[in-house]
Structure 1
Amino acid sequence: MPAPLTIRPVCPQDCAGVARVAYLTGFFGQSAQVYFPDRALFGALWAGPYFHGAGAGCFVAEQAGEVVGYVLGASDHDRYRLALARVVARQVGRAWPTGATLHSLRYLWRAARHPSPHADWQAYPAHLHLNLLPAARGAGMGRRLLEAHLSVLGGLGVPGVQLSTTTENVAALGLYRRLGFEVLDTRVTPLWTPWLGHPATHVLMGRRAPGWDWDPAPRD
Protein backbone atom coordinates (compact mmCIF):
# COMPACT_ATOMS: atom_id res chain seq x y z
CA MET A 1 0.00 0.00 0.00
CA PRO A 2 1.54 3.36 -1.01
CA ALA A 3 2.31 5.92 1.66
CA PRO A 4 -0.33 8.66 2.05
CA LEU A 5 0.05 12.01 0.33
CA THR A 6 0.13 15.03 2.62
CA ILE A 7 0.59 18.76 2.14
CA ARG A 8 2.41 21.27 4.32
CA PRO A 9 3.96 24.75 4.01
CA VAL A 10 7.41 24.83 2.46
CA CYS A 11 10.53 25.18 4.57
CA PRO A 12 14.04 26.23 3.47
CA GLN A 13 15.15 22.58 3.29
CA ASP A 14 12.55 21.93 0.57
CA CYS A 15 14.34 23.97 -2.10
CA ALA A 16 16.22 21.01 -3.60
CA GLY A 17 13.13 18.78 -3.57
CA VAL A 18 10.97 21.45 -5.19
CA ALA A 19 13.67 22.12 -7.80
CA ARG A 20 13.76 18.39 -8.57
CA VAL A 21 9.99 18.23 -9.14
CA ALA A 22 10.11 21.41 -11.21
CA TYR A 23 12.75 19.89 -13.46
CA LEU A 24 11.06 16.50 -13.82
CA THR A 25 7.77 18.17 -14.80
CA GLY A 26 9.12 21.24 -16.62
CA PHE A 27 8.20 20.15 -20.15
CA PHE A 28 4.42 19.86 -20.12
CA GLY A 29 4.51 17.40 -17.26
CA GLN A 30 7.69 15.66 -18.41
CA SER A 31 11.39 16.31 -17.82
CA ALA A 32 12.85 19.67 -18.84
CA GLN A 33 16.02 17.84 -19.96
CA VAL A 34 14.87 18.03 -23.56
CA TYR A 35 15.25 21.82 -23.73
CA PHE A 36 17.20 22.78 -20.58
CA PRO A 37 20.02 20.31 -19.82
CA ASP A 38 21.53 22.45 -17.03
CA ARG A 39 19.52 21.01 -14.16
CA ALA A 40 21.14 23.14 -11.45
CA LEU A 41 20.50 26.38 -13.32
CA PHE A 42 16.90 25.38 -14.01
CA GLY A 43 16.27 24.72 -10.33
CA ALA A 44 17.85 28.00 -9.31
CA LEU A 45 15.81 30.09 -11.74
CA TRP A 46 12.45 28.36 -11.34
CA ALA A 47 12.46 27.61 -7.62
CA GLY A 48 15.11 29.88 -6.13
CA PRO A 49 13.22 33.21 -5.97
CA TYR A 50 10.43 31.69 -3.87
CA PHE A 51 12.96 30.55 -1.28
CA HIS A 52 14.84 33.87 -1.26
CA GLY A 53 12.28 36.46 -0.29
CA ALA A 54 9.46 36.24 -2.85
CA GLY A 55 7.39 33.28 -1.71
CA ALA A 56 3.84 33.56 -0.35
CA GLY A 57 1.43 30.70 0.18
CA CYS A 58 3.94 28.07 -0.93
CA PHE A 59 3.15 24.43 -0.10
CA VAL A 60 4.60 21.05 -0.93
CA ALA A 61 2.96 17.68 -1.44
CA GLU A 62 4.90 14.99 0.36
CA GLN A 63 4.91 11.20 0.26
CA ALA A 64 7.11 9.03 2.45
CA GLY A 65 9.20 12.07 3.33
CA GLU A 66 9.81 13.04 -0.31
CA VAL A 67 8.53 16.14 -2.10
CA VAL A 68 6.31 14.97 -4.97
CA GLY A 69 4.58 18.25 -5.84
CA TYR A 70 4.27 21.89 -4.97
CA VAL A 71 2.49 25.16 -5.41
CA LEU A 72 4.80 28.16 -5.48
CA GLY A 73 3.68 31.74 -5.68
CA ALA A 74 4.47 35.35 -4.97
CA SER A 75 1.95 37.91 -3.76
CA ASP A 76 3.96 40.91 -5.00
CA HIS A 77 5.46 41.09 -8.48
CA ASP A 78 8.14 43.64 -7.62
CA ARG A 79 9.36 41.53 -4.71
CA TYR A 80 9.53 38.52 -7.01
CA ARG A 81 11.60 40.44 -9.58
CA LEU A 82 14.08 41.52 -6.91
CA ALA A 83 14.42 37.94 -5.66
CA LEU A 84 14.92 36.67 -9.20
CA ALA A 85 17.58 39.32 -9.82
CA ARG A 86 19.45 38.14 -6.71
CA VAL A 87 19.31 34.54 -7.91
CA VAL A 88 20.57 35.51 -11.37
CA ALA A 89 23.43 37.52 -9.86
CA ARG A 90 24.52 34.46 -7.89
CA GLN A 91 24.38 32.29 -10.99
CA VAL A 92 26.57 34.70 -12.94
CA GLY A 93 29.31 34.04 -10.42
CA ARG A 94 29.28 30.28 -11.01
CA ALA A 95 32.14 28.39 -12.66
CA TRP A 96 32.75 28.73 -16.40
CA PRO A 97 29.59 27.68 -18.27
CA THR A 98 29.40 24.03 -19.27
CA GLY A 99 28.01 22.73 -22.53
CA ALA A 100 24.74 22.03 -20.75
CA THR A 101 24.55 25.66 -19.61
CA LEU A 102 25.24 27.02 -23.09
CA HIS A 103 22.64 24.68 -24.61
CA SER A 104 20.11 25.86 -22.03
CA LEU A 105 20.66 29.47 -23.05
CA ARG A 106 18.82 28.71 -26.28
CA TYR A 107 15.58 28.37 -24.34
CA LEU A 108 16.24 31.53 -22.29
CA TRP A 109 16.96 33.49 -25.47
CA ARG A 110 13.75 32.22 -27.09
CA ALA A 111 11.73 32.93 -23.93
CA ALA A 112 12.98 36.54 -23.99
CA ARG A 113 11.92 36.85 -27.64
CA HIS A 114 8.55 35.15 -27.13
CA PRO A 115 7.34 36.03 -23.61
CA SER A 116 4.12 34.65 -22.24
CA PRO A 117 1.27 37.13 -21.75
CA HIS A 118 0.53 38.60 -18.36
CA ALA A 119 -2.26 40.66 -16.86
CA ASP A 120 -1.99 44.07 -15.25
CA TRP A 121 0.13 43.59 -12.13
CA GLN A 122 -1.93 46.07 -10.14
CA ALA A 123 -5.10 44.06 -10.64
CA TYR A 124 -3.40 40.66 -10.40
CA PRO A 125 -0.22 41.22 -8.35
CA ALA A 126 0.18 37.55 -7.39
CA HIS A 127 1.23 34.63 -9.57
CA LEU A 128 1.61 30.91 -9.01
CA HIS A 129 3.06 27.65 -10.36
CA LEU A 130 1.68 24.19 -9.62
CA ASN A 131 3.31 20.84 -10.47
CA LEU A 132 3.03 17.22 -9.40
CA LEU A 133 5.08 14.16 -10.28
CA PRO A 134 3.09 11.65 -12.36
CA ALA A 135 2.70 9.21 -9.45
CA ALA A 136 1.05 11.95 -7.35
CA ARG A 137 -1.54 12.92 -9.93
CA GLY A 138 -5.16 11.84 -9.95
CA ALA A 139 -5.62 11.90 -6.18
CA GLY A 140 -6.94 15.44 -5.78
CA MET A 141 -3.59 16.76 -4.59
CA GLY A 142 -3.46 19.54 -7.18
CA ARG A 143 -6.77 20.89 -5.93
CA ARG A 144 -5.67 20.69 -2.30
CA LEU A 145 -2.44 22.56 -3.03
CA LEU A 146 -4.23 25.24 -5.00
CA GLU A 147 -6.93 25.72 -2.37
CA ALA A 148 -4.26 26.06 0.34
CA HIS A 149 -2.43 28.67 -1.72
CA LEU A 150 -5.56 30.69 -2.49
CA SER A 151 -6.52 30.64 1.17
CA VAL A 152 -3.22 32.30 2.08
CA LEU A 153 -3.64 34.93 -0.64
CA GLY A 154 -7.12 35.69 0.68
CA GLY A 155 -5.76 36.16 4.18
CA LEU A 156 -3.14 38.56 2.83
CA GLY A 157 -5.80 40.64 1.08
CA VAL A 158 -4.33 40.06 -2.38
CA PRO A 159 -6.80 41.39 -4.98
CA GLY A 160 -5.99 38.96 -7.76
CA VAL A 161 -3.71 36.15 -8.91
CA GLN A 162 -2.62 35.18 -12.42
CA LEU A 163 -0.88 32.22 -14.00
CA SER A 164 0.36 31.22 -17.43
CA THR A 165 -0.05 27.76 -18.91
CA THR A 166 -0.64 26.33 -22.39
CA THR A 167 -3.32 24.33 -24.13
CA GLU A 168 -0.93 21.35 -23.89
CA ASN A 169 -1.80 21.16 -20.15
CA VAL A 170 -5.41 20.01 -20.49
CA ALA A 171 -5.77 18.65 -16.94
CA ALA A 172 -4.32 21.81 -15.41
CA LEU A 173 -6.68 24.03 -17.40
CA GLY A 174 -9.64 22.07 -16.07
CA LEU A 175 -8.44 22.34 -12.48
CA TYR A 176 -7.91 26.09 -12.70
CA ARG A 177 -11.38 26.62 -14.18
CA ARG A 178 -12.97 24.57 -11.41
CA LEU A 179 -11.20 26.76 -8.83
CA GLY A 180 -12.61 29.98 -10.30
CA PHE A 181 -9.90 31.03 -12.75
CA GLU A 182 -10.94 32.65 -16.00
CA VAL A 183 -9.07 32.95 -19.30
CA LEU A 184 -7.77 36.51 -19.65
CA ASP A 185 -5.76 36.13 -22.84
CA THR A 186 -4.40 33.55 -25.28
CA ARG A 187 -1.45 33.76 -27.61
CA VAL A 188 0.00 31.35 -30.16
CA THR A 189 3.75 31.20 -29.58
CA PRO A 190 6.68 29.66 -31.48
CA LEU A 191 8.64 29.40 -28.22
CA TRP A 192 8.26 25.63 -27.92
CA THR A 193 8.36 24.72 -31.61
CA PRO A 194 11.95 23.35 -31.61
CA TRP A 195 10.99 20.80 -28.94
CA LEU A 196 7.27 20.19 -29.50
CA GLY A 197 7.46 20.22 -33.27
CA HIS A 198 4.64 22.75 -33.50
CA PRO A 199 3.63 26.11 -31.96
CA ALA A 200 1.89 26.12 -28.60
CA THR A 201 -0.87 28.38 -27.31
CA HIS A 202 -0.15 30.32 -24.13
CA VAL A 203 -3.19 30.68 -21.90
CA LEU A 204 -3.23 33.49 -19.34
CA MET A 205 -5.67 32.84 -16.50
CA GLY A 206 -6.62 34.91 -13.50
CA ARG A 207 -8.80 34.90 -10.45
CA ARG A 208 -9.86 38.03 -8.57
CA ALA A 209 -10.81 38.30 -4.95
CA PRO A 210 -14.52 38.84 -4.16
CA GLY A 211 -15.52 42.45 -4.44
CA TRP A 212 -12.84 43.39 -6.94
CA ASP A 213 -14.59 45.69 -9.38
CA TRP A 214 -11.87 46.83 -11.75
CA ASP A 215 -11.59 44.89 -15.02
CA PRO A 216 -8.32 45.95 -16.69
CA ALA A 217 -7.35 44.57 -20.08
CA PRO A 218 -4.40 42.15 -20.23
CA ARG A 219 -1.19 43.66 -21.56
CA ASP A 220 2.20 42.48 -22.73
Structure 2
Amino acid sequence: MSSERAFIRPATPRDAPFLSHICLLTADKGNSAEHLHTIGALPGLVCPHTFGFVIEERDTKNVVGYILGTTDTRAYEAAAAISWWPRLRQEYPLSLVEGYEDAATNDESHKDDDMRLTPDDVQYIRTIHAPPRAEERCIAFSPAHMHIDILPPYQRQGWGRRLVGTVVAHLREKGLNGLWLRMAPGNDNGAQFIPD
Protein backbone atom coordinates (compact mmCIF):
# COMPACT_ATOMS: atom_id res chain seq x y z
CA MET A 1 0.00 0.00 0.00
CA SER A 2 1.22 3.51 -0.81
CA SER A 3 2.43 5.74 2.01
CA GLU A 4 1.07 8.86 0.28
CA ARG A 5 -1.80 10.49 2.10
CA ALA A 6 -3.87 10.83 -1.07
CA PHE A 7 -4.28 9.40 -4.55
CA ILE A 8 -5.83 10.32 -7.90
CA ARG A 9 -8.86 8.43 -9.22
CA PRO A 10 -11.60 9.01 -11.81
CA ALA A 11 -14.40 11.32 -10.62
CA THR A 12 -17.86 9.84 -10.05
CA PRO A 13 -21.30 11.47 -9.66
CA ARG A 14 -21.15 10.98 -5.88
CA ASP A 15 -18.18 13.40 -5.81
CA ALA A 16 -20.43 16.33 -6.84
CA PRO A 17 -20.90 17.79 -3.31
CA PHE A 18 -17.13 17.73 -2.76
CA LEU A 19 -16.49 19.39 -6.13
CA SER A 20 -18.97 22.17 -5.46
CA HIS A 21 -17.50 22.79 -2.00
CA ILE A 22 -13.91 22.78 -3.29
CA CYS A 23 -14.90 25.22 -6.02
CA LEU A 24 -16.29 27.60 -3.38
CA LEU A 25 -13.18 27.23 -1.21
CA THR A 26 -10.91 28.12 -4.14
CA ALA A 27 -13.11 30.46 -6.23
CA ASP A 28 -11.40 33.69 -5.15
CA LYS A 29 -8.15 33.34 -7.15
CA GLY A 30 -7.33 30.08 -5.38
CA ASN A 31 -8.61 31.21 -1.99
CA SER A 32 -11.94 30.78 -0.23
CA ALA A 33 -14.86 32.70 -1.73
CA GLU A 34 -17.23 31.90 1.16
CA HIS A 35 -17.32 35.59 2.11
CA LEU A 36 -18.29 36.52 -1.47
CA HIS A 37 -21.42 34.36 -1.73
CA THR A 38 -24.78 34.02 -0.02
CA ILE A 39 -25.54 31.01 -2.23
CA GLY A 40 -22.37 29.03 -1.61
CA ALA A 41 -23.08 26.33 -4.18
CA LEU A 42 -23.14 28.72 -7.11
CA PRO A 43 -19.45 28.64 -8.12
CA GLY A 44 -19.53 24.86 -8.49
CA LEU A 45 -22.68 24.91 -10.55
CA VAL A 46 -21.05 26.37 -13.64
CA CYS A 47 -18.80 23.37 -14.24
CA PRO A 48 -20.57 20.50 -16.00
CA HIS A 49 -18.04 18.03 -17.36
CA THR A 50 -17.47 15.03 -19.54
CA PHE A 51 -14.45 13.60 -17.72
CA GLY A 52 -12.81 14.22 -14.41
CA PHE A 53 -10.26 13.05 -11.90
CA VAL A 54 -10.11 13.76 -8.18
CA ILE A 55 -7.55 13.70 -5.40
CA GLU A 56 -8.93 11.57 -2.56
CA GLU A 57 -7.47 11.41 0.95
CA ARG A 58 -6.73 7.83 1.92
CA ASP A 59 -7.75 8.15 5.57
CA THR A 60 -10.87 10.31 5.34
CA LYS A 61 -12.01 9.42 1.78
CA ASN A 62 -12.59 13.17 1.30
CA VAL A 63 -11.99 14.68 -2.12
CA VAL A 64 -9.47 17.53 -1.79
CA GLY A 65 -8.95 18.51 -5.41
CA TYR A 66 -10.22 17.87 -8.90
CA ILE A 67 -9.73 18.39 -12.59
CA LEU A 68 -12.75 18.36 -14.90
CA GLY A 69 -12.86 18.71 -18.64
CA THR A 70 -14.21 17.79 -22.00
CA THR A 71 -12.68 16.39 -25.15
CA ASP A 72 -15.01 18.51 -27.33
CA THR A 73 -15.81 21.97 -26.01
CA ARG A 74 -18.42 22.82 -28.65
CA ALA A 75 -20.29 19.53 -28.06
CA TYR A 76 -20.06 20.19 -24.32
CA GLU A 77 -21.53 23.67 -24.78
CA ALA A 78 -24.40 22.27 -26.88
CA ALA A 79 -25.12 19.47 -24.38
CA ALA A 80 -25.00 21.89 -21.44
CA ALA A 81 -27.52 24.14 -23.23
CA ILE A 82 -29.96 21.23 -23.32
CA SER A 83 -29.32 19.26 -20.15
CA TRP A 84 -27.47 21.50 -17.66
CA TRP A 85 -28.39 25.18 -17.90
CA PRO A 86 -32.22 24.81 -18.10
CA ARG A 87 -32.37 23.08 -14.70
CA LEU A 88 -30.17 25.73 -13.12
CA ARG A 89 -32.21 28.51 -14.71
CA GLN A 90 -35.31 27.12 -13.03
CA GLU A 91 -33.54 26.87 -9.68
CA TYR A 92 -31.95 30.33 -10.01
CA PRO A 93 -34.31 32.46 -12.15
CA LEU A 94 -33.26 35.90 -13.35
CA SER A 95 -36.03 37.31 -11.17
CA LEU A 96 -33.67 36.68 -8.22
CA VAL A 97 -31.35 39.39 -9.53
CA GLU A 98 -33.98 41.95 -10.55
CA GLY A 99 -33.08 45.25 -8.97
CA TYR A 100 -29.40 44.38 -8.76
CA GLU A 101 -28.51 46.81 -11.52
CA ASP A 102 -24.79 46.39 -11.27
CA ALA A 103 -23.20 43.18 -9.99
CA ALA A 104 -20.30 45.28 -8.71
CA THR A 105 -22.46 47.26 -6.30
CA ASN A 106 -24.32 46.20 -3.19
CA ASP A 107 -27.85 47.40 -3.97
CA GLU A 108 -29.47 48.88 -0.83
CA SER A 109 -32.97 48.13 -2.14
CA HIS A 110 -32.45 44.47 -1.15
CA LYS A 111 -31.24 45.00 2.42
CA ASP A 112 -34.40 43.47 3.93
CA ASP A 113 -34.53 40.44 1.60
CA ASP A 114 -34.49 37.01 3.27
CA MET A 115 -31.55 36.08 1.09
CA ARG A 116 -29.49 39.09 0.16
CA LEU A 117 -27.36 38.28 -2.85
CA THR A 118 -23.78 39.36 -3.10
CA PRO A 119 -22.37 40.88 -6.31
CA ASP A 120 -20.66 37.54 -7.01
CA ASP A 121 -23.98 35.67 -6.56
CA VAL A 122 -25.58 38.04 -9.06
CA GLN A 123 -22.73 37.48 -11.52
CA TYR A 124 -23.06 33.68 -11.29
CA ILE A 125 -26.83 33.76 -11.73
CA ARG A 126 -26.44 35.96 -14.79
CA THR A 127 -23.80 33.57 -16.13
CA ILE A 128 -26.27 30.68 -15.77
CA HIS A 129 -28.67 32.60 -18.02
CA ALA A 130 -26.03 33.73 -20.52
CA PRO A 131 -23.11 31.30 -20.35
CA PRO A 132 -20.02 32.36 -22.27
CA ARG A 133 -18.90 30.39 -25.29
CA ALA A 134 -15.28 29.43 -25.69
CA GLU A 135 -13.29 31.73 -27.93
CA GLU A 136 -12.53 30.47 -31.43
CA ARG A 137 -8.79 30.85 -30.86
CA CYS A 138 -9.04 28.38 -27.96
CA ILE A 139 -10.99 25.89 -30.07
CA ALA A 140 -8.47 26.30 -32.89
CA PHE A 141 -5.72 25.31 -30.46
CA SER A 142 -7.62 22.28 -29.13
CA PRO A 143 -11.24 21.17 -28.74
CA ALA A 144 -10.39 19.97 -25.21
CA HIS A 145 -10.45 22.17 -22.13
CA MET A 146 -10.21 21.68 -18.37
CA HIS A 147 -10.97 23.25 -15.01
CA ILE A 148 -8.84 22.51 -11.94
CA ASP A 149 -9.16 23.31 -8.23
CA ILE A 150 -7.14 22.01 -5.28
CA LEU A 151 -7.65 22.84 -1.60
CA PRO A 152 -4.82 24.92 -0.06
CA PRO A 153 -3.34 22.12 2.13
CA TYR A 154 -2.68 20.15 -1.07
CA GLN A 155 -1.39 23.05 -3.17
CA ARG A 156 2.32 23.39 -3.98
CA GLN A 157 2.89 19.67 -3.45
CA GLY A 158 2.85 18.54 -7.07
CA TRP A 159 -0.84 17.51 -7.14
CA GLY A 160 -1.71 20.05 -9.83
CA ARG A 161 0.96 18.74 -12.17
CA ARG A 162 -0.10 15.16 -11.43
CA LEU A 163 -3.75 15.93 -12.19
CA VAL A 164 -2.81 17.67 -15.44
CA GLY A 165 -0.54 14.75 -16.33
CA THR A 166 -3.43 12.34 -15.73
CA VAL A 167 -5.63 14.37 -18.07
CA VAL A 168 -2.92 14.62 -20.72
CA ALA A 169 -2.57 10.81 -20.70
CA HIS A 170 -6.38 10.47 -20.89
CA LEU A 171 -6.55 12.84 -23.86
CA ARG A 172 -3.68 11.14 -25.69
CA GLU A 173 -5.63 7.87 -25.47
CA LYS A 174 -8.42 9.71 -27.28
CA GLY A 175 -6.05 11.05 -29.96
CA LEU A 176 -5.83 14.62 -28.64
CA ASN A 177 -2.53 16.39 -28.11
CA GLY A 178 -3.68 19.78 -26.82
CA LEU A 179 -5.60 21.24 -23.93
CA TRP A 180 -6.49 24.72 -22.69
CA LEU A 181 -8.00 26.33 -19.62
CA ARG A 182 -9.31 29.73 -18.59
CA MET A 183 -7.73 31.23 -15.53
CA ALA A 184 -9.02 34.15 -13.50
CA PRO A 185 -6.77 37.21 -13.76
CA GLY A 186 -4.66 37.46 -10.64
CA ASN A 187 -4.72 33.72 -9.88
CA ASP A 188 -0.98 33.61 -9.35
CA ASN A 189 -1.18 30.40 -7.29
CA GLY A 190 -2.88 28.53 -10.12
CA ALA A 191 -0.49 29.88 -12.73
CA GLN A 192 2.58 28.58 -10.91
CA PHE A 193 2.20 24.99 -12.07
CA ILE A 194 1.19 25.78 -15.67
CA PRO A 195 4.25 25.62 -17.97
CA ASP A 196 5.00 28.63 -20.21
- TM-score using structure 2 length: 0.73
1:119, 1:162 within 8 Å by CA — same for their partners in 2? Answer: no
Q: How much has 1:157 moved relative to structure 2?
A: 1.0
- Is 1:17 matched up with 2:22? no
| 2:188 aligned partner | 170
| 1:99 aligned partner | 115
User: 1:200-215 maps to which residues of 2 (within 5 A)?
Assistant: none
Q: How much has 1:169 moved relative to structure 2?
A: 2.4
User: 1:1-220 maps to which residues of 2 (within 5 A)?
Assistant: 4-46=5-47, 49-50=48-49, 55-56=50-51, 58-63=52-57, 64-85=60-81, 86-94=83-91, 97=96, 99-100=115-116, 103=119, 104-106=121-123, 109=126, 119-166=137-184, 168-177=186-195, 182=196
Q: Which runs of 5+ in 2 are unaligned?
A: 97-113
| Per-residue Cα deviation, 1:13-53 (whole angstroms, up to 9, x for no partner) | 1111111111110111112334443223332223xx11xxx
Query: How far, CA to CA, are the matches of 1:89 and 1:136 in structure 2?
Result: 34
Query: How far, CA to CA, are the matches of 1:165 and 1:121 in structure 2?
Result: 16
| Per-residue Cα deviation, 1:156-211 (whole angstroms, up to 9, x for no partner) | 1124211121452223323111xxxx4xxxxxxxxxxxxxxxxxxxxxxxxxxxxx
Q: Which runs of 5+ in 1 are unaligned?
A: 183-220
Query: How far, CA to CA, are the matches of 1:120 and 1:167 in structure 2?
Result: 17
State the secondary structure of the residue aligned to 2:172.
helix
2:146, 2:179 within 8 Å by CA — same for their partners in 1? Answer: yes
Greater strand fraction, Structure 1 or Structure 2:
1
Percent sequence identity over matched residues?
Answer: 27
1:35, 1:107 within 8 Å by CA — same for their partners in 2? Answer: no
| Per-residue Cα deviation, 1:145-166 (whole angstroms, up to 9, x for no partner) | 1100111011111242111214
Q: CA RMSD in A?
A: 3.1
State the secondary structure of the residue aligned to 2:41.
helix
State the secondary structure of the residue aligned to 1:175.
coil
Query: How far, CA to CA, are the matches of 1:164 and 1:43 in structure 2?
Result: 15
Per the alignment, do residues 33 and 116 of structure 1 end up closer, same or farther by CA in structure 2, a change over 3 Å counting? farther
Q: How much has 1:93 moved relative to structure 2?
A: 2.2
Q: How much has 1:100 moved relative to structure 2?
A: 5.0
| 1:186 aligned partner | none
Per the alignment, do residues 115 and 9 of structure 1 end up closer, same or farther by CA in structure 2, a change over 3 Å counting? closer
2:145, 2:179 within 8 Å by CA — same for their partners in 1? Answer: yes
Q: Kindly tell me the number of residue pairs found equivalent between the two proteins.
A: 170
| Per-residue Cα deviation, 1:79-100 (whole angstroms, up to 9, x for no partner) | 2213432222002222774735
Query: How far, CA to CA, are the matches of 1:45 and 1:110 in structure 2?
Result: 8
2:146, 2:180 within 8 Å by CA — same for their partners in 1? Answer: yes
Query: How far, CA to CA, are the matches of 1:95 and 1:129 in structure 2?
Result: 23
